[in-house]
Structure formats: structure tokens, C-alpha cells
Amino acid sequence: MQEYKAYLDENLDFEERAKDLVSRMTLEEKVFQTLYTAPAIERLGVKAYNWWNEALHGVARAGVATVFPQAIGLAATFDEDLLEEVADTISTEGRAKFNMQQKYNDTDIYKGLTFWSPNVNIFRDPRWGRGHETYGEDPYLSSRLGVRFVEGIQGHDKKYMKAAACAKHFAVHSGPEDLRHSFNAVVSKQDLYETYLPAFKACVQEAKVESVMGAYNRTNGEPCCGSKTLLKDILRGEWGFKGHVTS
């Protein structure tokens, strides 16, 4: 008789299936699954997967796609409905590409359904080289547009996502770009909560964003991707985030 494998049972919820799958994995297999180039686990029927994909204004890094204006241009419309419509189109094209690539076992970079978008950092200084990826300098506008973009990417089905969005870069990441892996952003508690966190909070609590990407820098002395303050106390503690963190 064939062994019953709970992780293959579609009648169970995702948490039960994931728990069963992880229990069958070796330590080495678990470690390798934390990389963005996650290899296949053939004995368990797990396919290889590349977690890195971008979708700020289209999915054209993997072939032909509709290319929309960059985020700062979309933000200039102040049109929340438009942002969701754009994101919905992006995820539809991304899903279509993914389905086709799966037929050919193509799991290269930019071929997955985990989109490292939107960028909801605050664009305070025009000298920042990635400011065009954001929705500008206003925390409220960034929050509203970020929420609708995430909803467009992920869809509204109660069980299945069209694709997974990722709010980045958490937090206080607004340049300088050439020092992004080393600078220490010193920010007051008031400025942190009033300026730099609202868009992330909205994406987590309102849009249920699937992933959050830690910033490359330090904030008040703590490396953001290992910050107890940002990741444990605020993100998971105060906001109740249940998704995964990309470092």
C-alpha cells in the first residue's frame, strides 16, 4: 500500500501540509530551501524554484510583456483604482509566463511567481538613485497605492494567490545607493512611526502582503535583516505579520 503523505493531500490546509513536508526534509534540504535558488527535492516531488522576480511596472525581465510607467509616474496619477488594475495585469501576465515556463521546466531567475514589489520606501532626497521605484515622499499616498498594488498582484481569492507580492525595503531605506549595504540610518521613534513605517503597516494589515524584504542597511545600529526591533517587535509582534521575510 502506498504511504499516505499529508503534504500531498489537497483537502488539508496549507499549514498542515507544510508542517508534514518540512518534517520529512533533512537539515541540509531545509538549509538549501532558504536560498533564492531553491533546488529540487526529487525524493519528495518538490520542484526547483527561483524566488527572485521583479514586477514594479511589468514582468519584462523574462521576455516580452506590457511595460507600464515606473512607480513614481504611476503615483503621480493619485489613482488607487489604476494601481490595482496595473498590478492585476502584471500578475496575469506573470502567471501566464509561469504556466508556460513550467511546461519546459524553466526555473531560472525572473521565472517565478514571487514578485519583489512594491517598493514602498519614502523618497525624501532626489539624489537617491532608486527613488523612481517608489511612490514618492508622502507616507499616506505610499500606503494607499502600496495596498492597492499588493491587492492587484495577489488577487482576492480566499484560498489561492495569483502571485505573491513583497513590500520592500524594511525599513528606513532611502539612499545613498552606493552605501546601501553599510550605512546606519539614525531615526527618531516619531519619524520612524510617522514617516517610514505606515506604508509597510498598511501593506501587512490591510493587503495581507505575503512577503516583506528587509533593507540592506542598518537602522539605529541594528542590521535590518536581523533586527529584533523591526522584524520581531514591530513586524510580527505589533502588526501580526504571518508571511516570510526576504533578506
Question: How do residues 139-175 score in pLDDT, each as one tens digit?
Answer: 999 999 999 999 999 999 999 999 999 999 999 999 8
Residue 178 has pLDDT above 90, yes or no: no
Question: Average pLDDT of 1-29?
Answer: 95
Residues 85-129 have pLDDT tens digits of: 999 999 999 999 999 999 999 999 999 999 999 999 999 988 899
Q: Are 210 and 161 in contact (CB under 8 A)?
A: yes
Q: Helix 80-103 to helix 139-154 angle, to the nearest 10 degrees? A: 40
Reduced to 3 states (helix: H, G, I; strand: E, B; else coil), residue 101 is helix
What size, in residues, is the chain? 247
Residues 36-53 have pLDDT tens digits of: 999 999 999 999 999 999
C-alpha dihedral (158, 160, 164, 167), degrees to nearest 10: 10
pLDDT-derived band at 177, boundaries 50, 70, 90: confident
What per-residue confidence (pLDDT) applies to 139?
99
Residue 1 has pLDDT above 80, yes or no: no
CATH number of the structural domain 50-246: 3.20.20.300
Residues 182-227 have pLDDT tens digits of: 999 999 999 999 999 999 999 999 999 999 999 999 999 999 999 9
CA–CA dist 87, 69 (Å, integer): 12
Is the pTM value of this prediction over 0.85? yes
Cα distances from 38 to residues 16, 164, 192, in angstroms, run 21, 16, 34
Q: Are 125 and 175 in contact (CB under 8 A)?
A: yes
What per-residue confidence (pLDDT) applies to 90?
99
Residue with the larger pLDDT of the pair 79 and 180 = 79
Question: Average pLDDT of 56-62?
Answer: 96
What per-residue confidence (pLDDT) applies to 120?
99
